[in-house]
Amino acid sequence: MEKKLAKIIAYAQERLSEEQSGHGFDHACRVAKLAEKIMADLNDPSVDSLVVIAAAYLHDTIDDKVVDDPDEAVEELRNFLTFEKIPTTQVLEILFIIDNLSFSKEQFGAASELTINGQIVQDADRLEALGAIGIMRTAYFGGAHGNVLYDPTIPPRNLQTKAEYREESTVINHFYEKLFLIVDQMKTPFGKQEAQRRKTFMEEFLKEFYREWND
């Protein structure tokens, strides 16, 4: 398994090394480490660690925020995994997890229910959107897309569709439009506990942010 994972990690690094909106290879590495922590906490023998770690490293290699042609990226990934002799059942689950991982799909009712393997990867990825790392990634993504940092005349939106979600907003509004919402969507015990801890940190950050802004 170690040789297969090494090839998978190298594939992710090649695809994500130039990514500059907070979804780069460093993000994938942290998601994989968080997934390992969640697996250790669950201690569930039914978990497929190869599927979990592979999906953690590869999840953004086909994301439409990162690649120009997601369908082409999916086929490239499928061919790569098949070439590396990953069993078909595992290839299908890795692709299924990646395809149903996102906040937008779950939030707007387009996602299929994830297995425990997928729930681990999803929680790990969402923890990366919270806490100090989450704050930095939000600002980094917003800056890359030219978003306004904050405008008190623009209230957070109650998003109803993916199209609305993809429309530009302020960096601070993103906390309310997505980041705080995912805390209640965590699936695993570790994910729920760690998400709440990180949310508390973010709330303290916002208090300081508003104080400095208003001063």
pLDDT tens digits, 33-74: 999 999 999 999 999 999 999 999 999 999 877 788 889 999
**pLDDT value, residue 126:** 97
By mean pLDDT, which of 21-35, 106-120, 177-191 is the weakest?
106-120
**pLDDT value, residue 110:** 63
C-alpha 45/C-alpha 60 separation (Å) is 27
Give pLDDT tens digits for 123-169.
999 999 999 999 999 998 898 888 999 999 999 988 777 777 777 78
Residue 174 Cα distances to 35, 75, 97, 137, angstroms: 24, 32, 24, 11
By mean pLDDT, which of 21-30, 104-113, 179-188 is the weakest?
104-113
pLDDT band at 174 (very low <50, low <70, confident <90, very high): very high
The two tokens of residue 63 are: 């994301």
Give the residue from 5, 104, 101 showing the smallest Cα distance to 51. 5
Give pLDDT tens digits for 186-210.
999 999 999 999 999 999 999 999 9
The range of the structural domain enclosing residue 159 comes to: 2-214
Give the residue from 111, 126, 168 showing the smallest Cα distance to 27. 126
Q: Residue 167 sits in a domain of what CATH number? A: 1.10.3210.50
How many domains, the chain?
Answer: 1
Q: Which has the higher per-residue pLDDT, 131 or 3?
A: 131
